[in-house]
Amino acid sequence: MPVSKGRRKKAKRRPTPPKRPPAPAEQKGPSPTWYVVTMFGLMGLGILVVLVNYMGFLPGGTSNLYLLGGLACIAIGFAMTLDYR
């Protein structure tokens, strides 16, 4: 049975090599201490605010604003982990 044009094997081509080698990536040192403390501090503060809000110890009783503030602190702390080295 004849082979269709679409099923013919094509010659394997090699990709062309780059003309110049890529520049070396800049190595950054470890994160400063203040960054790590701020990152974990925000996450801890957020957890504390959420817990204390649910227990009703904050002024004004339980409030969605306290909950959103605590969740925002947790989210900012987690976002800071993306740049942690």
Residue at 26 is within a domain = no
What's the whole-number mean pLDDT along residues 4-20?
Answer: 72
Instruction: Provide the mean pLDDT of the chain.
Output: 88
Residue at 83 is within a domain = yes
Residue at 44 is within a domain = yes
State if pTM tops 0.85: no
Residue at 77 is within a domain = yes
Indicate the number of domains in the chain. 1
Residue at 64 is within a domain = yes
Residue at 61 is within a domain = yes
- What is the 3-class SS of the chain, one letter each residue? CCCCHHHCCCCCCCCCCCCCCCCCCCCCCCCCHHHHHHHHHHHHHHHHHHHHHHHCCCCCCCCHHHHHHHHHHHHHHHHHHHHCC
- Give 24-59 pLDDT, tens digit per residue: 778 888 999 999 999 999 999 999 999 999 999 998
Residue at 2 is within a domain = no
Range of the domain at 81: 31-85
Residue at 79 is within a domain = yes
Say whether pLDDT at 18 is over 80. Answer: no
